[in-house]
Amino acid sequence: MCKFLIASLLATASAFAAEKPNILVIIADDLGWGDVSCNGTSAVKTPNIDRVASEGLRFTSGYCSASTCTPTRFSLLTGTYAFRQKGTGVAPPNAPALIQPSTPTIASLLKQQGYATAAIGKWHLGLGTDQPDWNGDLKPGPLEIGFDHCLLLPTTNDRVPQVFVEDHRVRNLDPADPLWVGDKKPSPDHPTGITHRDTLKMDWSLGHNCTIHNGISRIGFYTGGMKARFRDQDLADEWVREANTWLEANKSKPFFLYFASHDIHVPRAPHERFAGKSGLGPRGDCIVEFDWCVGELMKTLDRLGLAENTLVVICSDNGPVLDDGYKDQAVELLGKHKPAGPYSGGKYSVLEGGTRTPFITRWKGRIKPGVSDETVCTIDLPASAAALAGQPLPANACLDSLNVLDALLGKPGAKGRDWLVQQDNGGGNFGLRQGKWKLIRQKPGPQAVKKGKAPADRLYDLSTDPAEKNNIAADHPEDLKRLQGLLDNAITTGRTRKAE
């Protein structure tokens, strides 16, 4: 009897590693906690996301690690806080690869366990050694850090260029029409959002006034590559099509797909069939488009019979923003919609709205549907995925990624993180949450530096003050000190995952 029990326990413990379930991470762009209707405050309906949530686990304290695109993506893949590496703020169009070849990533760890791996969608983590070689081989890139295949928007779509990168090359590039990308205007007569503002289909409100493509002016300049350029409205369709093709081709292997939608980042130009569907203008329509993407991918899993062998994670890369450089009526048509739900701040901020974002896991037949208040973060995906696949973590990589697999799977009594660090775009502002407590540390501004006096750290009780309005640091010196110690240690020791 005893022998039997032990054998059963051992079999259970190794069951996950033995079967190597598929992992599908769907990451939205700038989608706020309140932007999905399953979180209860949305004026936009997201039926497909809601369905995934009802079939899985919806986290009320799910986070991304930073409040802008590049650092969260860096950390999601590497499992290390972006603030540990300089130059991981929002990457410019000609940024070189920010993750060095052979750096262990969620993709390379899973690849070691025989997973097929692909990145489809927005990259925004740089390509190339010094800068991207747009007309040659674009490497290093995803294929040098563990992905077998990629179809990427190389930067972010408010920055140039509007081309797909497929594996190492710009797709459909005509060598007779080379692609040039730069930060200087290529010729005096090159049309820009300033010189040809009256021709724009979507006007800019701040910056975003360089090269015009598809009636939208961008950050940065480019010329050539006309056959390779995409229409903004077709991004979601193309990525869903590519994902479906790749999933079909890899259905019999364990796979890891990183599907990085551009919705709902600016410029918000959803496919025409979604235009006007939300009543909130392009921002809301892009939420509807993102929700459609989720629905299509779930349909594909069902069609291929993979829903019961695939862990699905839906998350976002930072909190919401309304006017992010284009006049797209996000502010004017907002109405009662609350993109950050009950939280303050959003994109660029270390207030809760900046990083507390939609976070859903689903694995049919394995995850008991429900709601979890455990704290989990996108930075934990490498360690958790590695645990799921039975891959040990390297000692000196994934320095801040914690194995919260049991919490992601909703196992009874499973704990998420005890605390987590929140960063901004790398500007030196930090948040730290532990249970109900939230610490905010602001980088001293120029005036404070002049006076030699840093702003005092602030402390909030999220259980009574989710909007972080009432600084109670003076009333709770011991809690303040404890959180300050955690943050100081996280920054100075270079890792928060204990060395094993």
Q: Tell me the three state secondary structure of residue 2.
A: helix
CB of 407 to Ca ion, least distance (A): 24
CB of 46 to Ca ion, least distance (A): 18
Shortest distance, CB of residue 14 to Ca ion, whole angstroms? 38
Cβ contact 115:253 at 8 Å: yes
Distance CA 9, CA 405 (A): 18
- Interaction between residue 424 and Ca ion (CB under 5 A): no
- Letters for 205-224 (x = contact with Ca ion by CB under 5 A, - = none) are --------------------
Is the Cβ of residue 126 or residue 410 nearer to Ca ion in the bound state?
Answer: 126
| Options 23-31, 129-137, 249-257, 469-477: segment touching Ca ion (CB under 5 A) | 23-31
Ranges within 251-270 binding Ca ion (CB under 5 A) = none
Residue whose C-beta lies closest to Ca ion: 69
Alpha-carbon distance of 46 to 337, in angstroms, equals 13
Greatest alpha-carbon span in the chain: 84
- From 22-30, 134-142, 173-181, 473-481, span contacting Ca ion (CB under 5 A): 22-30
Q: How far is the CB of 64 from Ca ion (least distance, A)?
A: 9
* Span near Ca ion by CB under 5 A; candidates 29-37, 113-121, 295-303, 457-465: 29-37
Closer of 317 and 457 to Ca ion (Cβ): 317
Buried b (16+ CB within 10 A) or exposed e, 332-353: ebbeebbbbbbbbbbbbbbbbb
If 0-12 CB within 10 Å is exposed, 13-18 middle and 19+ buried, where does residue 45 land?
middle
**Contact (CB, 8 A) for 266 and 281:** no
Q: Between 83 and 460, name the residue whose CB sits nearer to Ca ion.
A: 83
The nearest distance, CB 156 to Ca ion, in angstroms, is 7
Of residues 310 through 329, those in contact with Ca ion by CB under 5 A are 317-318
Q: Which is nearer to Ca ion, 32 or 281 (CB)?
A: 32
Q: Is 400 in the site for Ca ion (CB under 5 A)?
A: no
Identify residues 39-68 at the interface with Ca ion (CB under 5 A). none
Of 30 and 263, nearer to Ca ion (C-beta) is 30
Min dist. Cβ of residue 266 to Ca ion (A): 10
Q: Which residues contact 144 (CB under 8 A, 6 or more apart)?
A: 97, 101, 102
Candidates 224, 137, 131; CA nearest to 178 is 224
Start-to-end C-alpha separation, the chain: 35
Instruction: Closer to Ca ion by CB, 30 or 35: give it.
Output: 30
Choosing from 24, 25, 29, 326, the residue that interacts with Ca ion (CB under 5 A) is 29
Pick between residue 262 and residue 337 the one whose CB is nearest to Ca ion.
262
- φ/ψ of 240, rounded to 5, equals -65, -45
Task: Give the interface size with Ca ion as a residue count (CB under 5 A).
Answer: 5
Phi, psi dihedral angles at 482 (to 5 degrees): -65, -45
User: Mask of contacts with Ca ion, 322-361, x by CB under 5 A?
Assistant: ----------------------------------------
Instruction: Report the residue number, 111 or 124, with the smaller CB distance to Ca ion.
Output: 124
- What is the nearest approach in angstroms of Ca ion to the Cβ of residue 348? 10
| 466: preceding bond cis by omega (within 30 degrees) | no
Query: How deeply is 275 buried, as exposed, middle or buried, from its count of CB atoms within 10 A (0-12, 13-18, 19+)?
Result: middle
Contacts (CB under 5 A) with Ca ion, residues 70-109:
none
Is the CB of 266 or the CB of 388 nearer to Ca ion?
A: 266
To the nearest whole angstrom, how small is the minimum distance from the Cβ of residue 194 to Ca ion? Answer: 26
CB of 326 to Ca ion, least distance (A): 15
- Residue in this structure with the two tokens 């040039």, named with its chain if needed: 180
Backbone phi, psi, residue 226, to 5°: -60, -40
Name the token pair of 200.
């724009």
Structure tokens at 111: 């690849």
The span of 28-36, 211-219, 252-260, 464-472 binding Ca ion (CB under 5 A) equals 28-36
**Angle (nearest 5°) at CA 145 between 88 and 402:** 70
Query: Closest Cα to residue 382, out of 113, 32, 143?
Result: 113
How many Å apart are CA 196 and CA 397, to the nearest integer? 48
Q: How many CB atoms lie within 10 A of CB 92?
A: 15
Stretch near Ca ion under the rule CB under 5 A, chosen from 26-34, 361-369, 380-388, 489-497: 26-34
Please, what is the minimum distance in Å from the beta carbon of residue 36 to Ca ion? 15
Compute the distance between CA of residue 270 and CA of residue 415 in angstroms, rounded to an integer. 39
**Is position 69 an interface residue for Ca ion (rule: CB under 5 A)?**
yes
**Smallest distance, Ca ion to C-beta of residue 93, A:** 16
Comparison of 266 and 389: residue with beta carbon closer to Ca ion: 266
Residue closer to Ca ion by CB (options 30, 158) is 30
Identify the residue among 23, 24, 28, 30 touching Ca ion (CB under 5 A): 30
Q: Minimum distance between the CB of residue 357 and Ca ion, rounded to whole angstroms? A: 10
- The DSSP string of 13-76 is HHHHHHH--EEEEEEESS--GGGSGGGT--SS--HHHHHHHHHSEEEEEEE-SBSSHHHHHHHH
Which of residues 158 and 400 has its CB atom nearest to Ca ion in the complex? 158
Chain contacts with Ca ion (rule: CB under 5 A): 29-30, 69, 317-318
